[in-house]
Structures are given as C-alpha cells and as structure tokens.
Amino acid sequence: MFIELSEFLRCPEPHEESFCVVAPGMMAGRMIMRGIVGCPVCQREYPIRQGVVHFGETVATPATAATAEAADPDVIWTLLGLTSPGGFVVLGGSAARLVRGLAERMGGVHFVGVNPPPDVEVSPVLTLLAHPDRIPLRRSMARGVVLGADACREPWISEGTRVLLTGLRLVAVAEAVSAPGLDQVAVGRGLWVGQKRHQR
C-alpha cells in the first residue's frame, strides 16, 4: 500500500466517515508491504499482507475476452480527460489490469485497484484494496474511476461515484450503465463515460 494513501482510507463499517490509523510493519520504498489499518471509531483492524489491504474477503470474477478488447489504455486515458500529474485513480475489478498502460500515459498518478483479478500484483504505482461491496476510501478523493466489466453494477457504480471528485469522470467497460449522480458524456464501443455533477 502506497503510504501517502493512508489519509484517504475509510473504514467500510456503517458509521460516520473517519480517518484510519496505519501501523506499518514492513516497508519497501514508499509501499507498506505488511502492517495494520485500524479504525478509531469502531476499533476494527484490517491486515496489510503482501502490500494488499484486506478490508474483507472477496471472490474474484474472471474477465471476459470482450472486456480486454474494449479496455484499451489509450482510449481510457483519453476518456478520463486527465492532463496533469498527481492524485489517485481508482481501478475497479478487472480494470486493474490496465495499470501498466495507464501509468505510462499518466505519470505522477497513483492507481488504487479494488478487488483486482488474482494475476494483478502490488507495484510502486498500484495499491490494492479488497472488500466484497465497498470501496474503502473517503468520499470525493479520486481524480478518476475506471470500472472493469465485472464491476459495472451496483454497489460499485454508486461507490465509484461516491469516491470521485466533482466534475471528474468515471469510465465503465460496459454500455448499459445507470448512474445517478453522473451526467453521461459518451457511450459506445463497449464503454460508458459519466461526469460527476455538482450537488445543489
């Protein structure tokens, strides 16, 4: 886990949003490879093992061939519309496989994979989080969200919208997407793009 992500973690339990406390056990550069994430509100503790923060048990869903064809890093990068470095982009499910191609085009951005396929590993540009039905991050912290075909459903669409900064974009590797809170920007070729609207 990228140490600078610590302040953006959120306990997934149903209580008010609060910061988490991170106790590193082993570091590799700026990545926490072993340690504990603790919640000061409910006292829950979540282990960091091999760099992955385990907020809950998950079951991986294999990506389809169609997913791989639709999710081209160049296209995703263009649709996200990010032209400056810095901040975090969330990759849900099989979208975590795009990290290498996206990192080449988006220098200075750190990626957060949520429930990635088993073949995706932690790297200096990728933090991995696991939880069965939540993105354990604070609201309005991500500069972009990409949902793989296996995550283009609830609760992941609502969770992706929650963590996305206002005015920025969520890209889904699916065309049939219903996303309250997002204005549709584009749809086609197996992709859907929405922009988070300002709250009135």
Tell me what pLDDT residue 62 has: 53
Q: Answer yes or no: do 157 and 89 share one domain.
A: yes
Q: Answer yes or no: do 29 and 71 share one domain.
A: no
Q: What range defines the domain where residue 89 resides? A: 65-196
Domain count, the chain: 2
Q: Reply yes or no on whether the pLDDT at 5 is more than 60.
A: yes
Reported as a single tens digit per residue, the pLDDT across 32-70 is: 999 999 999 999 999 999 999 999 987 655 554 444 445
C-alpha 116: how far from chain center: 9
**57 within domain boundaries:** no
CB contact at 8 A, 146 and 171: yes
Determine the average pLDDT of the residues in 128-137. Answer: 97
Q: Reply yes or no on whether the pLDDT at 168 is more than 80.
A: yes
Q: ∠119-138-133 over CA atoms, to 5°?
A: 50
State in Å, rounded, how far the first CA of the chain is from the last one: 35
* Residue 94 belongs to domain with CATH number: 3.40.50.150
Q: Answer yes or no: do 97 and 127 share one domain.
A: yes
Q: Answer yes or no: do 46 and 70 share one domain.
A: no
Q: Answer yes or no: do 130 and 163 share one domain.
A: yes
Q: CA-to-CA distance for 136 and 97, rounded, in angstroms?
A: 20
Q: ∠38-50-24 over CA atoms, to 5°?
A: 40
Q: CA-to-CA distance for 8 and 196, rounded, in angstroms?
A: 19
Determine the average pLDDT of the residues in 159-170. Answer: 98
**24 within domain boundaries:** yes
User: Among the listed ranges 28-32, 65-69, 109-113, 123-127, which one has the minimum average pLDDT value?
Assistant: 65-69
Tell me what pLDDT residue 59 has: 61
**171 within domain boundaries:** yes
**58 within domain boundaries:** no
Tell me what pLDDT residue 7 has: 96
Q: Answer yes or no: do 87 and 179 share one domain.
A: yes
